[in-house]
Amino acid sequence: MAKLKIIEVQVHLVSRPARSPFTTARQLAVGQTDVPVRTHVLVEIRTDGGWTGFGEGATDPLWPQGMTPAELARLIMDTVVPVLRGRDPADLERLIPDLERAAGNPFAVAAADMALWDVVGRARGQSVVALLGGAARARMPLHLPIGIKSPDEVTEDVRQAVEAGYQDFKLKVGGPDADAEAASVAAVRATAGPEARIRLDANQAWTPAEAVRRLHGLKRHGIRLVEQPVVAEDLAGMREVRRATGIPVMADESCFDARDVARLAEAEAADAVNIKLMKCGGLWRAREVAAAAAAAGLEGFMGSMLEMEIGASASLQFALSQAMVIHPTGILHPTTARPLADPPWRTDGPFAVLAPTVHGLGAEPRFEPGDRVMADGLERPAEPS
């Protein structure tokens, strides 16, 4: 393939109505129970060969290093775009460190990183899975993600999922009503049956002592794993939860990069890590996280920041390429009432399969009235697709 040169970069703000509330302990702690509209950032890269690539940035002000979508778009315009212009998109080994130094934020780098892999894949006629070295599996197992909601709502969600063949469920916990939470976990087990696999995610909600107490009360329902039970910095607390409950612990907010993996392993604080492209800074660095975790004997899980189809395709293709990602994922669960793009995958019950004709990420965004584009320091309405 002839060397490419990036000649134009645009940054889009795209908004779609949320499909349904997905409440977490972190949101409840600040009084945020509903996000009616999801606004994400797209990075569009165009090259001198006529190729175009897209990357997606999904951020949350409640997250470490998070910010509003508008702030993320401005950061990308001010710091990322100048680095990209005139560069070879395939020169990731040099581009990614340059972007990290300029932006100082993994969410901004991740959006650009995805666009680089996408444009290179399109130009070479290869999927991102192929660019990453090939598929470790043909299809990705899926779980049903369940936000904090009433036990009756949980029962209905699980009933529908079981009818579709699901046996893996990941339930958000850590809310103020411990009794309702216990009833929700019991509802998953009662509705899904004895063979179902239940994982919990507390989003840093508990103290170590509270985590141990609550998890001891929930163990009878057969909990496979608990994610981020205590605050991210408390590695000793995570180790205490592991040892006192016997339930494997997965690190999420505690694990952004390969250095964090090393700290977790040394502290014996986790059994698994949640790999999210947004917090890693994209696919390039996610490979390092996966390699470090595998070397330390930690299991992999593919998570997300509720990206739409472009980010979801990047996460799916990464997960398909990594043998160490052994847990089912919820990254493809629809988050918006209208899709941003046609998904480049198909689902077969609780499994996802990438379309065989995908080049790059394989997701072409459809812009709508109300979407915005930023180019050359100016913001204007995007042209509807």
Answer whether 347's CB lies under 8 Å from 168's CB. Answer: no
CA distance 361 to 241: 39
Residue 265 burial (10 A CB sphere; 0-12, 13-18, 19+): middle
Helix intervals (H) in 281-370: 283-295, 309-321
Q: Which helix (H) or strand (E) holds 272?
A: strand 272-275
CA distance 15 to 2: 36
- Closest-CA residue to 106 (of 62, 75, 74): 75
Answer whether 320's CB lies under 8 Å from 129's CB. Answer: yes
Length of the chain (residues): 385
What are the residues whose beta carbons fall under 8 Å from the beta carbon of 223, sequence distance 6 or more?
Answer: 185, 198, 199, 200, 215, 247
What are the residues whose beta carbons fall under 8 Å from the beta carbon of 342, sequence distance 6 or more?
Answer: 309, 363, 364
CA 223, distance to chain mean position in Å, is 22
Bridge partners (DSSP) of residue 249 are 226
Give the catalytic positions in this structure. Answer: 172, 276
